[in-house]
Structure 1
Amino acid sequence: MTYKAMNLGTLHFKLKQWRFMNPKTIYLQPIRYTLSWLLLSIAMVLAASCGKEATPTASDTATAAAATTASGTEATANIQVPVEYYTLDNGLKVVLSPDRTAPIATVAVYYNIGFRIEPKDRTGFAHLFEHMMFQGSDNLGKMEFIQLVQKNGGILNGSTRFDYTNYFQIVPAHKLETMLWAEADRMRGLNITQENLTNQQGVVKNEVKVNVLNQPYGGFPWLDMPQYANKNWHNAHNFYGDLEDLDAATLEDVRSFFNTYYAPNNAVVVVVGDFEIPAAKEWIKQYFGDIKSADVPPIPDLSEPRQEEEQRFTKDDKLANRPALAFSYHMPERNTPEYYAMGLLDQILLQGNNSRLYQALVQDKGYTGSVGGGINADLGNMFNYHGPMLWTGSLIHDKSVPADSIVAVLDQEIQRLQREGVSQELLDQAMVKMRSSLYDQMSGLYGFGKADLLASFALFDDNPSRINELEAEFRKVTPALMQKTIQEYLRPTNRTVLIINPQAQI
């Protein structure tokens, strides 16, 4: 299979799309250099000219997956990602996954701390600390980490999610050692000063104002819905940060947070790309091996009670000029049979223009121009979280369409699945879409998508090789299990509905 190289414009668009496809994703916005796009594009072209093998594209995957037989037996091979996994003496987890597709390397460092377990009187603190990680370390001054990556032709970013905070760089392969050294340098000793803290408090507060407070539908539904649907504070607070809490953060808070959660025994380092395993192991031991571990507190109880009644809420939006509606259902526990069944139900009901809800709400009724969402929608995917989660859908619609009409369509489509059952043919079609989605995720951003899954499975399951087991788990799902999952998890009493009431004067 020949790798199809992207030109500079396409690469720039895809990277921009990855960061900004939703204004909801919490990201550090890095300075961008044209050189970064150019060098990575050249790397892609070189890989193509050398005729190297590449990860199949989504269209390739869909074609191959269409070979599924009526009995659900897959004619093509399952995903096989090379995984070498080990732990340093200080507790740092390490995942190495060589990929010769292109002469680039991805370094991803994930810390097992997300906004779900930040201090109760410091909402937004996990995100604030993500910004602090770019303010300098023992050997790299303010902004020098970013400059180091970009002047070597790479790109970088960081984000804060429910259960982790991550940092990554994609660089020419010969700069792998440099990136490992730089990541170890800030894990070893962050430059925590009052000046840096005050500066980043202002940056984050401005980010909240721009992305949420001064935007129509600013927190809808990614920030709003968890607060309405969940009961446990850890899952239900304003994780972007209340402005008063952000102001209240002290220098001692930051130092304590760093010393507690940014320790090697609370992290995983993932390397994906064109590298030699022995060399990578040597560098990781050299730069990370003597960083001291810490006493990491146990994760608090994150469980949610079983929801027994439908919840409905209305939120006024002074900047919105059209109503919007979101619905959420509590998910099955991660890695259970029902969890995988919900992944396939998501494909049937919500993913793509052939999904049941798109066909009903957009094509048949004309209530809206689009409907989107999913499992862990807008803040990741169905694999990169650890605690309770929601399956969520949302749409903006015409004022002439009552919210009850939209909910009625939702109920009709779920009841249709219950009444008619999920046939093996429909299940096979969902598996084709899921398999394509998996390849899409793994090939995203030239190695980062694969690194994201490997890091998540290392952090949460102590088993990054789960990446190679996903297809088999989905294939275990039967029509009977789909019915059982629909009855328990897609019941109206497990649902929360959020209605946006527009207040803007047109």
Structure 2
Amino acid sequence: MRLRWHVAAAVGALALAPGLSGDAVARTRAATSVPGAATAAAPAFQVPITYYALPNGLKVVMTRDATVPLVTVSVYYGIGFRVEPRDKTGFAHLFEHLMFQGSANAPKGVFDKTVTNSGGINNGSTRFDFTNYYETVPAGALGRMLWLDADRMARPVINDAVLKNQQGVVGNEVKGNVLNQPYGGWPWIDLPMLANTNWYNAHNFYGDLKEIEAATVADAETFRRTFYSPNNAVLVIAGDFDEAAARAMVARYFGPIPRGPAVTLPDLSEPRQTAPRVKTRVDPLAPKPGYAIGYHVPDRGTPEWYAMGLLDQILVQGEDSRLYRKLVKERQITGDLAGGINDGLGNMFNYRGPMLWDVYFTHDAARGRAEIDSAIDAVIEDVRNRPVSEAELARARTKLRSSLYDSFNDPTRMGLVDLLAVYALFDDDPAKVNTLQAGFDAVTPALIQKVARDYLRPEARSTYLIEAGLKHEGAAK
């Protein structure tokens, strides 16, 4: 990926609902509650959303905000590295790069030059369950961006020269970000490979260099025809624009692109973990040991998932979190505590499939695993055995709400664009962004404790340890 875009640091057959098939009929949803949350407080925000689909299956989400004279255009495809072909690890990421190499009517360099000449920015990324491309430009450049994105969707240039060039680029990225980097791949690649047993969730998604280098143009064309079609994509337009004009341009540029074959998801389910898993490796470039733990989280969108999001705030987010107080302030085991749900590759909202909540940090070699385990166990067992107070739960809601609002208020609007895109792609309902606060407001101390007991069990923990190889080499000299 050209940028590891973090919000804090599924590929799928997305069958259109009856209301989205046939004519492209707009519908605006403004749901304000979630099932089972009758007592939840009304959300403090309402994002205006227009949602419809073209006859070829492309889902279109629009939200207008004229506060800043910018517009963001983003296309999300329902293909991430989770379900890439078994013998072609890293292919989803490689294909992301290929899509930046020009299209039939906009040769290589035209797209980027058009964006930069207008004073805008553009990028893309590959995640567990989607690949996205986005541009933020002055409002007057909207038409040019829509034309460029449509040409890229319909007619990307993929030939042997392009493929060989990007195989080299991606290979160097793997070497620079993982193989030749201290703690490279830890824990964002290592921990899912340890905690999961289903290949789709547990393979090296950055890719094996031999498999990346073995990819052919025929492989790339098959991948494009399978996944890069309008019926497996969402187009989001957010910012300062005229909706009627935007709808006309979307129909003009994207409407003629033919529908592709339906995409079928493989089975992504993970069996319940019944025994702890531990792995250790020596990192020859790491100056300090590393400690990471992960637990599977409840299914996305369930009441338990909302509770897990608040548990994340209570346990690891911010200096008031329980693990920060224990590991950093009280025990001084580490100074770089981090973690979260889908941490490192997104956030708790933008995935579909099994996911981990993790905690990780580096520490001095004098602090052994037994001491660290004991400190963490004390915190985890306390939240499992005693209900959190209403005051602590209220603070967690405030922190999470603040983080959500911050993502909405960025001038590029990419935080909001991301939420709208994934809720359209995975749930066929981008207006679910207007129900998120209600979902968190409905969580009780009793539900927090229940989720902690069910999901933070000792036997459900996976631990990945890094031994500091750089120190060992120095000692040998």
TM-score by length of 2: 0.90
Tell me how far apart the structure 2 counterparts of residues 21 and 197 of structure 1 sit (CA, whole Å). 33
Q: Match of 1:362?
A: 328
For 2:411 and 2:361, how far apart are their aligned partners in 1?
A: 27
* AA partner of residue 76 (structure 2): Y
Cα distance in 1 for residues equivalent to 2:101 and 2:265 = 28
Amino acid at match of 2:435: E
Does residue 449 of structure 2 align to residue 466 of structure 1?
no
SS at match of 1:145: helix
CA contact (8 A) 1:136 1:186 kept: yes
Asked whether 1:269 is paired with 2:235, we answer: yes
Q: Residue 449 of structure 1 aligns to a residue in which SS?
A: helix
What amino acid maps onto 2:288 in structure 1?
R
In the superposition, relative to structure 1, how do residues 221 and 473 fare at CA in structure 2: closer, same or farther (>3 Å)? Answer: same
Residue 419 of structure 1 corresponds to which residue in structure 2?
A: 385
8 A Cα contact 1:340 1:473, kept in partner? yes
Q: How far apart in 1 are the matches of 2:163 and 2:169?
A: 10
Q: Among 108, 116, 120, which residue is 2:82 paired with? A: 116
1:333 aligns with 2:317: no
Sort the Cα spacing of 1:422 and 1:379 in 2 relative to 1 into closer, same or farther, 3 A.
Answer: same
Residue 63 (structure 2) pairs with residue 97 (structure 1): yes
How far apart are residue 442 of structure 1 and its match? Answer: 2.0
Same amino acid, percent of matched pairs: 52
Q: What SS does structure 1 have at the residue aligned with 2:410?
A: helix
Aligned AA (2:427): D
Q: Which residue of 1 aligns with 2:226?
A: 260
Distance (Å, rounded) in 1 between the aligned partners of 2:355 and 2:249:
37
Per-residue deviation, 1:73: 7.3
CA contact (8 A) 2:78 2:131 kept: yes
1:488 Cα shift? 0.3
* Cα RMSD (Å): 1.5
- C-alpha displacement of 1:18: 5.5
For residues 6-45 of structure 1, the aligned pairs below 5 Å read none
Q: How far apart, CA to CA, are the structure 2 residues paired with 1:482 and 1:441?
A: 25
Per-residue CA deviation, residues 311-338 of structure 1 (Å, 9 max, x unaligned), is: 1110110111210000000011111111
Q: Give the conservation status (yes or no) of the 8 Å contact 1:367–1:401.
A: yes
Aligned equivalents of 2:323, 2:282: Cα separation in 1: 26
**How many angstroms apart in 1 are the aligned matches of 2:180 and 2:200?**
26
Gaps of 5+ in 2: 10-38
CA contact (8 A) 1:126 1:160 kept: yes
- CA offset digits 1:361-381 (Å, max 9, x no partner): 000000011200100000000
Q: 1:40 is matched with which residue?
A: none
Partner of 1:83: 49
- Summarize the alignment of residues 14-413 of structure 1 with structure 2, pairs less than 5 Å apart: 78-413=44-379
Residue of structure 1 equivalent to 2:15: none
The aligned counterpart of 2:397 is 431
Letter in 1 for 2:343: A
CA drift of 1:77 comes to 5.1
For residue 87 of structure 2, give the secondary structure of its aligned residue in structure 1: coil
Q: Structure 1's 472 and 20: CA in aligned 2 closer, same or farther, altered over 3 A?
A: closer
Is the Cα contact below 8 Å between 2:384 and 2:450 reproduced in 1?
A: no
SS in 2 for 1:431: helix
* From 389, 407, 410, the counterpart of 1:441: 407
What amino acid sits opposite 2:95 in the alignment? Answer: F
Larger displacement relative to structure 2 (434-443 or 359-368): 434-443
Q: 1:452 maps to which residue?
A: 418
Give yes or no for contact 2:6–2:346 (8 Å, CA) kept in 1. Answer: no
Alpha-carbon separation, structure 1, partners of 2:358 and 2:410? 23
Q: For the Cα contact (< 8 Å) 2:318–2:324, is it kept in 1? A: yes
Q: Say if 1:99 and 1:273, in contact at 8 Å, map to a contact too.
A: yes
| 1:251-293 deviation line (CA, Å, top 9, x unaligned) | 1000111111110000000000001111110000000001001
Q: Is the 8 A contact 1:326 1:499 kept in 2?
A: yes
**Using the alignment, how far apart are the partners of 1:386 and 1:121 within structure 2?**
22
- What CA distance in whole angstroms lies between the structure 1 residues aligned with 2:63 and 2:159? 37
TM-score by length of 1: 0.85
1:69 is matched with none
Residue deviations 1:327-350, cap 9 Å, x none?
A: 000011111111000000000000
Deviations 1:226-275 (A, max 9, x none): 11110000000000010010011011000111111110000000000001
Distance change >3 Å, CA 20–CA 318, structure 1 → 2: farther
Question: Do the aligned residues in 1 keep the contact of 2:76 with 2:133 (CA within 8 Å)?
Answer: yes
Name whichever of 117-126 and 442-451 sits farther off.
442-451
How far apart are residue 17 of structure 1 and its match?
9.9
Whole-angstrom distance in 2 between the partners of 1:319 and 1:233: 28
Letter in 1 for 2:123: N
CA distance in structure 2 between the partners assigned to 1:345 and 1:396 by the alignment: 22
Instruction: State the distance in 2 between where 1:381 and 1:18 align.
Output: 11
Question: How far did residue 20 of structure 1 move?
Answer: 11
Whole-angstrom CA distance in 2 between matches of 1:475 and 1:249: 48
Aligned partners of 2:5 and 2:346 also within 8 Å: no
Q: Which amino acid aligns with 1:434?
A: L
TM-aligned CA distance change 1:77 to 1:298, over 3 Å: closer
Query: Cα offset for 1:422?
Result: 1.3
- Tell me how many residue pairs correspond in the alignment: 441
Q: 1-side partners of 2:374 and 2:346: how far apart?
A: 28
Displacement of 1:446? 2.3
Deviation sequence 1:185-239 (CA, Å, 0-9, x none): 1101010110000000000000000111001101111111111110000000000
C-alpha displacement at 1:297, in angstroms?
2.9
Deviations 1:53-77 (A, max 9, x none): xxxxxxxxxxxxxxxxxxx975x85
1:405 is displaced (CA, Å) by 1.5
Give, in whole Å, the separation in 2 of the partners of 1:491 and 1:140: 54
Match of 2:30 in 1: none
